[in-house]
């Protein structure tokens, strides 16, 4: 049995499941169970592209069969030649669609549909690193805006220079983690700082961590495991920005993880945000442990999850951005910093999928 026949059999089975989901979605009682509703809509959304590609594949396959039939049956030389000319491009299109379907059928990571919490921290480079941290926050914010995702700042530590020592924010939307999961790591910037009178290029670094946001059902955090402190929040340079004890520091005693949140004026809101960040950090640590166990015999080319790994360089004098994991260089840094990062993300996703196919 050929690979294409096996592929079609699997797709026929998926199509039946897709039709079942369509009927389920039309049930007016479905929204009454929020958990089942969310799971159903996510599964349906994940299958949409696969089913659309499968429909196109079936159409082109039929057109190819008809072209072969016409070329064999036609007696008129001119018509026979016309039919033969259609065969090659149709064969190429069918082959392309088969390749795309194989990639789409690689088992999807169950985390891909989750919302995320992103932590951006200035590394080496002083004020220049903090300014680039702010640049990256704006880049991701614009990317999210283009995809109609919602961004919410959880906590931020601003500098007098106008950058961020640290900024933590959530991103909510469709397939958020699946698109931004490979952004974790060290982002290096090479440019002339505004304060540099000699025009010398400086190199600074910023770390990015992308955490799948954990729901209360994903991981249990017991009150007895938490130490919660409250205090007055402060702004750049220690300037007080709040006269009440609204800032919250939560320490997870078993792991020693500490989360601070002071962005809101309400202590209750800051506590809720801090718990979201803590739960997601614990969840990510647990998932990283599982992935390390599964990948003990091989190391994925993309997305090792090591935040100390230098993943990308942004060179402003040359308008160049290079992703070191896949050796991809683009000379469109201005567009990238405006949030146009689809080309980078798509290339990383394809590389990860190809790596997954090799290991299957």
User: Phi and psi dihedrals of 190, rounded to 5?
Assistant: -125, 110
Nearest to 131 by CA among 185, 205, 79, 74: 205
How many whole angstroms separate alpha carbon 54 and alpha carbon 167? Answer: 42
For residue 135, give every residue at least 6 positions away whose Cβ sits within 8 Å of its Cβ, in sequence order, or none.
189, 337
Which residue range(s) make up the domain with 88?
3-104
What pLDDT band is residue 198 in, cutting at 50, 70 and 90?
confident
Asked whether residue 242 carries a pLDDT value surpassing 70, the answer given is no
How many whole angstroms separate alpha carbon 68 and alpha carbon 83? Answer: 7
294, 311, 339 - which closes a domain: 294
pTM for the predicted model, two decimal places = 0.69
What per-residue string of b and e applies to 133-150 under the rule 16 or more CB within 10 Å gives b? bbbbbebbbbbbeeeebe
How many whole angstroms separate alpha carbon 182 and alpha carbon 138? Answer: 18
Residue range 302-306: average pLDDT?
46
Looking at the structure of the chain, the number of domains it has is 3
Q: Are 179 and 283 in the same domain?
A: no
How many whole angstroms separate alpha carbon 235 and alpha carbon 158? Answer: 7
Q: Which residue has the tokens 């567009």?
A: 335
Asked whether residue 286 carries a pLDDT value surpassing 90, the answer given is no
Asked whether residue 152 carries a pLDDT value surpassing 90, the answer given is yes
3-state SS class at 188: strand
Q: Which of 29-33, 224-228, 280-284, 312-316 is predicted most confidently?
A: 312-316
- Summary count for the chain: helices (H), strands (E): 8, 11
Q: For residue 224, what are its two tokens?
A: 């007895």
What pLDDT band is residue 189 in, cutting at 50, 70 and 90?
very high
Q: Are 264 and 115 in the same domain?
A: no
Q: Tens digit of pLDDT for each residue in 95-134?
A: 888 888 877 877 777 788 889 999 999 998 889 999 999 9
Q: Are 98 and 116 in the same domain?
A: no
Q: Are 311 and 287 in the same domain?
A: no
- In a domain, residue 218? The reply is no
């Amino acid at each position: 049995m050929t690979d294409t026949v096996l592929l079609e059999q699997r797709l026929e089975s998926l199509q039946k499941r897709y039709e079942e989901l369509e009927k389920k979605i039309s049930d007016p009682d479905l929204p009454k169970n929020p958990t089942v509703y969310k799971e159903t809509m996510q599964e349906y959304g994940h299958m949409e592209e696969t089913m659309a590609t499968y429909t196109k594949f079936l159409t082109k396959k039929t057109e190819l069969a008809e072209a072969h039939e016409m070329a064999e049956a036609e007696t008129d030389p001119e018509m026979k030649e016309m039919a033969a000319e259609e065969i090659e491009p149709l064969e190429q299109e069918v082959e392309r669609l088969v390749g795309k379907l194989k990639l789409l059928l690689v088992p999807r990571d169950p985390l891909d549909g989750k919302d995320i919490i992103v932590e951006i921290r200035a590394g080496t480079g002083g004020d220049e690193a903090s300014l680039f941290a702010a640049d990256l926050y704006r880049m991701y914010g614009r990317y999210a805006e283009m995809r109609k995702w919602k961004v919410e700042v959880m906590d931020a530590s601003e500098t007098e220079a106008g950058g961020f020592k640290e900024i933590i924010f959530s991103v909510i939307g469709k397939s958020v983690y699946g698109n931004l999961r490979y952004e974790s790591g060290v982002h290096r910037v090479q440019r002339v700082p505004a304060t540099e009178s000699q025009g010398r290029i400086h190199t600074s670094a910023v770390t990015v961590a992308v955490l799948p946001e954990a729901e209360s059902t994903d991981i249990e955090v017991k009150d007895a495991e938490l130490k919660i402190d409250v205090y007055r929040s402060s702004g750049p340079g220690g300037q007080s920005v709040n006269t009440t004890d609204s800032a919250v520091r939560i320490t997870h005693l078993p792991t020693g993880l500490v989360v601070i949140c002071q962005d809101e004026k309400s202590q209750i809101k800051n506590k809720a945000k801090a718990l979201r960040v803590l739960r997601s950090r614990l969840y990510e640590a647990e998932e990283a442990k599982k992935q390390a166990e599964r990948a003990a015999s091989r190391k994925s080319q993309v997305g090792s999850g090591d935040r100390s790994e230098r993943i990308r360089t942004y060179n402003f004098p040359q308008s160049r951005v290079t992703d070191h994991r896949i050796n991809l260089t683009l000379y469109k840094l201005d567009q990238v910093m405006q949030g146009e990062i689809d080309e980078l993300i798509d290339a990383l996703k394809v590389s990860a999928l190809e790596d997954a196919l090799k290991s299957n």
